[in-house]
Amino acid sequence: MDIHFLYFEDCPSHDVALARLREVMAEEGIAAEIRITKVETEEEAENRGFVGSPTILVNGKDIVPPPPDTPAMLTCRVYHWADGRFSPLPSPDMIRNALAQKTTE
- Whose Cβ is closer to other proteins: residue 65's or residue 92's? 92
The beta strand positions in 3-101, using DSSP E, are: 3-7, 34-38, 55-58, 61-62, 79-80, 86-87
CB of 78 to other proteins, least distance (A): 4
31 versus 86: smaller Cβ distance to other proteins = 86
Q: Applying CB under 8 A, which residues contact other proteins?
A: 10-13, 73, 75-79, 85-89
Following CA atoms 105, 5, 77, 74 in sequence, which dihedral angle do they give, to the nearest 10 degrees?
-130
- Closer residue to other proteins, CB minimum distance, 88 or 102: 88
